Chains A and B, each alone.
Chain A
Amino acid sequence: MSSNAEPLRGVDANGSLLTAVGLAIHSRIGGDQRTIVTNLDLSLNEAETVGIVGESGSGKSMTARALVGLLPTGLSARGEVRLDGSNLLEMSQRELSRIRGSEIALVLQDPFTMLNPVTRCGDQVADGLVDARGRRLGRRTRREEAARRLAEVGIPETVDRYPFELSGGMRQRVAIAAALAGDPRVLIADEPSTALDVTTQGEILALLKSLQTSRSMALLLITHDLRVAFSTCDRIYVLYAGSLLEVGDASAVEAEPLHPYTLGLLLSEPPADRRLTELVAIPGSVPAADDVATICPLAPRCQWAQPKCEVTNPPLKPVGAERLSACLRIDEIRAEMRSLRHHAERPAVVHHPAEASVPLVSVDNLQKTFADASTRRGSAPVIALGGVSLTVGVTESVGLVGESGSGKTTLARCLVGLETPTAGAITIDGVDASNYGSLSADHLRQLRRTVQIVFQDPYSSLNPLRTVGSALKEVLELHRKRSRNLEGGVAELLEQVGLPASFSRRKPVALSGGERQRVAIARALAVKPRLIICDEPVSALDVSVQAQILGLFRTLRDELGVGYLFITHDLAVVRQVVERVYVLYRGEVVESGPVDAVLDHPQHAYTVRLVESVPRSASQQRPMR
């Protein structure tokens, strides 16, 4: 516990509002105890924005919950969390509930489940309000107060509306207004923008930042996205497998990260303003805190790791003005890290393959309307695609960018026959694929061998009961009937996606998210397709794993000549993989062209909004080096 007794330098002890000292969180399920967070020191000053950055499994959300005493059943926190000199961890639930809302408030990730669906927004915001004498407000004052609070977050008109009438972004605003109703001094926001569309994300972050400034309250932002942290926060804590690895000023950390993990995270996050020659990915995936309890948590994945890194869990120590790093070798490797970054951030040129005379896939004025149950009562059917035309050339990589509800997934499903279009034509490799149901067996087989799809969620895209090997073998059996060496085929497929052949005996449960996505890609490759439709293939993955998978997509392309139709909401990701891009908005293509041209000089108002919503910090706004 006391190995980390080093006080935080540069933090005025009087100025800090909320401090955590030696915070440790454990879970106990059944008989075994697991560590979630160990030995975490944190301070939050008045009117300061602090970010906790970490990938899934780092313990960042549980830290946020521990700070307000809202840990789920089975988890317990030890150590100290001080607010005004009293330890929150020792308080009774009753005392805590007095502090929650009035001193510390919490905003959660998912705006769709956070609000009570049967209560009007105004009531949700003003429910807990009391007057000066501690009595509940009268009906009229309550409504006026609620309207005033909702106006503060920019949506006064929602007082009398129910949550289901609002969009995700508006619901998140209501949640923020509700959290601020008790005028707390500290607001903890746990991934407040992650569940929202890109354009809305930026708005919510800007709102939080402006509220923080105007109310001069302290904001603790939990996020997995370094870009968000850099653009919003004053100071940053980097959390990994339950341990803090680096602490420092946001701009200083961005200028020069002083821990290999922070550097890795920074480099694996693709930039939106240029394509990189190669994304530097941290190999492997985030370990469990207990597996790395006695070594440097990053050691198994760190290129600079030495035997001495595997002796103790190194404590944070000062490495400069207001900077803390848990890397033992930081002084030795600092120069190397700097040059790695310099190399990694060089922009690459996008090669456009020669224009083929006949495109592999051509979609002409494709329309799809969904008539759901409610339409029987006279309301209009939902138009998912309102006349989309696009082409994908042979061995070409094309991006399809849009927010949720833009119809991009519907288009993908139409292309592989999971949906049947209402009108319009799809031609794939010379075959009319507008209606899969009416195709002959030969044509169907030809289409299956031409186009394959990789889905977003790696957790449900593999049958949980079948081993990796049997899943791949099944496809090989079907499409390469003459081949005798199916086992060899399985091993070859696994090798192509960068997995050892021994993985064929594993079941999906024994794989991480990134490994599952690799298997899903291998399964698509088994039919030797010429085009793989990738429906948000990396959005469910951690940043460091995302970079690995993006790298894999590039390698496969170079080695096998496979093309992609890459569907994503993330402009930075699309920039790394494709040559041409289509921007989809409400079921229609609003802009298309070479990826550089579209992202650097967007023409359509919607594309402009999309490009502007990517979080950027000061240095990223500089022109390219």
Chain B
Amino acid sequence: MTSLVVGPRAQVGRRLLRSSPLTVTVSFVFVGLLIFLALFGPLLAPHGSESLNLATGLTTPNGEFWFGTDDLGRDVFSRTIYGVRYALFGPVLIVVGAFVIGNVLGLAAGYRGGLLDASIMRWVDLMYAVPGLLVTIVLIGVLGASYLLAVVVLVVLTSPFDTRIIRGVTLEQRSLPYVEAARTLGLPVRAILFRHIFPNILPISFANAFLNFAFSLVALSALSFLGLGIGPGTADWGRMLSESRLLLFDNPVAALAPGGMIVLTATSMNLIGDWLYDRLADRGRAR
């Protein structure tokens, strides 16, 4: 009879999203477009990403240069397309890295408990106490600006949050009868963790990965903007934003295009993550 009662999970926000999957469809189309551009963008871009055209100089959007050009005469439209690769590559690396570390450590800590749990969680506590951005800036300041270094640092900074989340949901699953039944049946720990518990916590780790993507994209762009990520002149959205901010009154599109792309990509990923969570959490859940 309880299944008839509308539970707290059917919150208004969730229901809105579910009843209007248009936002999700649009997000999927947008992300699909991004992936396509990441693969084939260079073939489609009307101009090269680095090709200077000092003769043209700064122009506003026109027939040849759809988004106009920057002060070095580089085509903003082409550079935005080239930027997709950096926008996807770094965050994907961070997400995958944090996903693997967070899930492995979280499952181990939550299932095993004891000393292992205590050591992992103290490491997590330590990482929580570290001021992330500050450490990144100092590290990169000492070791020199590099895109890959920024990625690695962000993986290390993100994974404690994943670990804590995964540990929590693992603890919750661990005490359920189906896990205890698997234990009494003598299934090996590996099978219990990866065949039984992991699929059941997948919705949360997936949704979390998408949120991480959005966070990583913004963080990487911010580092680029500050000059701590990718090298100068590269067609990276954060870089472009930083280099074009002085041109705001001459060709506003040069700054708005990369900025807008960052916002749209992050938002799409968040929406997809939320939608995916709802979908995955539903499988096998209803009584």
Interface on A for B, CB 8 Å cutoff?
A: 27, 29, 34, 36, 56-57, 59, 61-62, 72-75, 416-418, 444-445, 448, 452-453, 455-457, 459-466, 474-475, 478-479, 507-509, 520, 523-524, 526-527
Question: Are the C-beta atoms of A417 and B184 separated by less than 8 Å?
Answer: yes
| In-complex Cβ contact of A72 among B6, B185, B196, B287 (8 A) | B6
Contact A448 B185 (CB under 8 A): yes
Q: Is the CB of A461 within 8 A of B178?
A: yes
4 shortest A-B CB distances, which residue pairs?
A464-B284, A461-B177, A448-B186, A455-B177
Taking the nearest CB of chain A, how far is it from the CB of B155, in angstroms? 29
Residues of B within 8 Å of A527, CB to CB, are 185-186
Q: A455-B177, A460-B176 are in contact. Are A475 and B284 (CB under 8 A)?
A: no
Q: In this complex, what residue of A is CB-closest to B181?
A: A461
Inter-chain contact B1/A452, CB cutoff 8 Å: no
The answer to whether B187 touches A478, judged by C-beta atoms less than 8 angstroms apart, is: yes
Q: Which bracket fits the contact residues of B?
A: 20 to 34
Q: A59-B1, A523-B181, A526-B185 are in contact. List 19 more A-B contacts (CB 8 A).
A: A27-B4, A62-B4, A74-B4, A75-B4, A417-B184, A418-B184, A444-B186, A455-B177, A461-B181, A463-B199, A464-B284, A464-B285, A466-B195, A466-B196, A474-B191, A478-B185, A507-B284, A524-B181, A524-B185
- B142 touches A (CB below 8 Å): no
| Residues of B167-208 whose CB lies within 8 A of A | 176-178, 180-187, 191, 195-196, 199-200
CB-based contact B181/A464 at 8 Å: no
Bound state CA distance, A27 and B180, in angstroms?
A: 36
How many residue pairs link A and B with beta carbons under 8 A? The number is 89
What is the distance, in angstroms, from B126's C-beta to the closest C-beta of chain A? 24
Interface check B43, CB cutoff 8 A: no
B1, B181, B196, B199: the one contacting A455 at CB < 8 Å is: B181
Chain B hits for A72, CB < 8 A: 4-6
Say whether B9 faces chain A, with CB atoms less than 8 Å apart: no
Chain A neighbourhood of B191, CB < 8 A: 474
Q: Which residues of A contact B286 (CB under 8 A)?
A: 509
Contact indicator B184/A448 (Cβ below 8 Å): yes
Are B1 and A464 in contact, CB atoms less than 8 angstroms apart? no
Contact (Cβ within 8 A) B4 A463: no
Nearest to A418 among chain B residues (CB) is: B180
A578 to B93, CA, bound (A): 60
Give the residue name and chain of the A residue nearest to B283 (CB).
Answer: A465
| Cα distance, A445 to B187, chains bound together (Å) | 10
- Across the two chains, which residue of chain B brings its CB closest to A510? B284
Residue of A whose beta carbon sits closest to that of B198: A465
- Known contacts A460-B177, A461-B178, A461-B181; A509/B284 CB under 8 A: yes
Per the bound structure, the CA–CA distance linking A475 and B196 in Å amounts to: 13
Of B1, B178, B180, B286, chain A has the most CB atoms within 10 Å of the CB of: B178
Q: How many angstroms from the CA of A416 to the CA of B181 in the assembled complex?
A: 10
CA of A445 to CA of B185, assembled, Å: 9
How far apart sit A72 and B6, CA to CA, in the bound complex (Å)? 8
B196, A463: Cβ atoms under 8 Å? yes
CB distance B284 to A474 under 8 Å?
no
Chain A min CB distance to B266 (Å): 30
- 25 A-B contacts, Cβ less than 8 Å apart? A27-B4, A59-B1, A73-B6, A74-B4, A445-B186, A455-B180, A455-B181, A456-B177, A459-B287, A461-B177, A463-B196, A463-B199, A463-B200, A464-B200, A464-B283, A466-B196, A474-B191, A475-B187, A478-B187, A479-B186, A509-B286, A509-B287, A524-B185, A526-B185, A527-B186
Q: Are B287 and A452 in contact (CB under 8 A)?
A: no
Asked if A61 contacts B284 (CB within 8 A), the reply is no
For B195, the chain A residues whose CB sits under 8 A away are 466, 474
Q: How far is the CA of A29 from the CA of B9 in the complex (A)?
A: 14
Known interface pairs A36-B4, A56-B1. Does A457 touch B186 (Cβ–Cβ under 8 Å)? Answer: no
Assembled-state Cα–Cα distance A73/B284 (Å): 24
Q: Which residue of B lies closest to A73 (CB)?
A: B6
Chain B contacts of A464 at CB under 8 A? 178, 200, 283-285
Q: Which residues of B contact A416 (CB under 8 A)?
A: 184
**A475 in contact with B200 (CB, 8 Å):** no
Cα–Cα distance between A57 and B283 once the two chains are bound (Å): 22
Residue of A nearest to B202 (CB): A465
Q: Which residue of A lies closest to B200 (CB)?
A: A465
B-side contacts of A36, CB under 8 Å: 4
* 266-287 of chain B: CB within 8 A of chain A: 283-287
**When the two chains form their complex, are residues A453 and B287 in contact, meaning their CB atoms are under 8 A apart?**
no
> What distance in Å separates the Cβ of A305 from its nearest Cβ neighbour in chain B?
26
Residue of B nearest to A520 (CB): B181
Q: Which of A74, A453, A459 contacts B6 (CB 8 A)?
A: A74
Question: Is B181 a contact partner of A57 (Cβ separation < 8 A)?
Answer: no
* 8 Å CB contact of B285 from A456, A475, A509, A526: A509
Contact with A along B1-20 (1 / 0, CB 8 A): 10011100000000000000
Question: What chain A residues lie within 8 Å of B187 (beta carbons)?
Answer: 474-475, 478
Q: A27-B4, A62-B1, A72-B5 are in contact. Are A453 and B181 (CB under 8 A)?
A: yes
Contacts of A56 on B, CB cut-off 8 Å?
1
Chain B residues closer than 8 Å to A61, beta-carbon distance: 1
Q: Once the chains bind, are B4 and A462 in contact (CB under 8 Å)? A: no
A507 contacts which chain B residues (CB < 8 A)?
A: 284
Given A57-B1, A464-B200, decide whether A453 and B284 contact each other with a Cβ distance below 8 A. no
Cross-chain contact A460 with B178 (CB below 8 angstroms): yes
Q: A27 vs B3: C-alpha distance in the bound complex, in angstroms? A: 11
Interchain nearest-CB distance for A404 vs B (Å) = 17
Assess A465 versus B184: contact at CB under 8 Å? Given A29-B6, A72-B5: no
Assembled-state Cα–Cα distance A460/B5 (Å): 20
Q: Out of A453, A463, A508, which one reaches B184, CB within 8 Å?
A: A453
Give the CA-CA distance A444 to B188 in the complex, in Å.
Answer: 12
| Chain A residue contacts of B6, Cβ below 8 A | 29, 72-74
CB atoms of B177 and A478 under 8 A apart: no
Identify B185's interface contact among A73, A455, A459, A523, CB under 8 A.
A523
A residues in contact with B199, CB < 8 Å? 463, 465-466
Distance from A440 Cβ to chain B, minimum over Cβ atoms (Å): 13
Q: How far is the CA of A339 from the CA of B199 in the complex (A)?
A: 53
Contact B5 A465 (CB under 8 A): no
The docked-state distance in angstroms from the alpha carbon of A474 to that of B181 is 12
Contact B180–A457 (Cβ < 8 Å)? no
B178 contact set on A, CB distance < 8 A = 460-464
Which residues of chain B have C-beta atoms less than 8 A from A417's C-beta? 183-184
